[in-house]
Structures are given as C-alpha cells and as structure tokens.
Amino acid sequence: MAYSEKVMDHFTNPRNMGEIENASGVGTVGNAKCGDIMRIYLDIDENQIVRDVKFKTFGCGAAVATSSMATELVKGKSIYEALQVTNKAVMEALDGLPPVKVHCSLLAEEAIHAALWDYATKHGIEIPGLQKPVTDISEHEEEEEY
Ligand code: FES
C-alpha cells in the first residue's frame, strides 16, 4: 500500500488536533466495522464563518490524515462552503488514498456535517443540503461504490 507524501505529512504532523471548549458545534461519528471514531469541533463566528476547527480521532492513519486535511479545508470558510468539503475534495488535496482506505476519508466529511448540524440545531437555522447526520457511517457504506 502506497501513501502519498501529503498523506504521510498530515499523518505524522496532523494540523488542528485537539478540542475546542464551548465549541459552536461538535460532531462525532464512528465506523462500527473498523471501530474508529472521529470528533470535530467547530468555532463559528457571528458571520457564520468557521473561525477555528479541531479534531480528535481514535482511528487509523488515513483517518488522521484526512481529518487533518479536512480541518485545513474548512477553516476560514462559511458554514455553507464548509458543507461542500467532501471526502473527494479531501482526497484530492492529499493526492489520493489507496482504494481500501477511501472509506476512512468519509469519517471526516461526516463528522464535519454532524458538527454543522449541531451548530444549526442550536441556532435554529437551516443549512440547505445538510442532512441529519448518522452516528455510524458503516450503516450506509454498503450502498456506496468505491
Ligand atoms: Fe477505520 Fe480507517 S480503518 S477509519
């Protein structure tokens, strides 16, 4: 299995690892199949811009690298732009992932969505296109094609 240099870089030197106290939104998702869990914390300002973002992952190296890159991609974005940060975008930014590790990148995307959902619910707003998050992404994994 070959990892790109960017994956190795984000794995060995993850950006934005940690947590945010009193975060505007927190999202946690897991994958029951591999047992990995990821949590994303968003600090969103009054203009609905992601001022800060942190993550915690109990997961494999690919999950760490994709979380790290995903946090870099949503930082400074509006909540609407943050919703557009897909696992594909994250993988592209990392110069790809080995096929058996593609599912790991879904954890980051889903955790961001869950955190945005938490924020939206707390503030009584609706983010168009945002679906109620799942807590276990392996549930709908079978339907996806890799
Ligand atoms: Fe579970 Fe990578 S093996 S997230």
CB 113 within 8 A of CB 44: no
The pLDDT tens digits of the residues spanning 17-50 come to: 999 999 999 999 999 999 999 999 999 999 999 9
Show the CA angle centred on residue 7, arms to residues 9 and 72, nearest 5°.
80
Q: Is 85 in the pocket of ligand 1 (CB under 6 A)?
A: no
| Catalytic residue (choose from 7, 104, 130, 137) | 104
Q: Is 30 in the pocket of ligand 1 (CB under 6 A)?
A: no
CB 65 within 8 A of CB 10: yes
Residue located nearest, by CA, to atom 2 of ligand 1: 104
Residue 60 designated active-site? no
Domains present along the chain, CATH in parentheses:
5-122 (3.90.1010.10)
pLDDT at site 145 = 46
What single DSSP character describes residue 17?
A: B
User: 66 alpha carbon to ligand 1 midpoint, in Å?
Assistant: 11
The pLDDT tens digits of the residues spanning 106-138 come to: 999 999 999 999 999 999 999 999 998 888 888
- Cβ neighbors of 100 (< 8 A, separation 6 or more) are 1
The pLDDT tens digits of the residues spanning 48-85 come to: 999 999 999 998 999 999 999 999 999 999 999 999 99
pTM: 0.91
Kind and range of the H or E run holding 11: helix 5-12
85, two tokens: 């940060």
Q: Which atom from ligand 1 is nearest to the alpha carbon of 60?
A: 2
Q: What are phi and psi of 90, to 5 degrees?
A: -65, -45
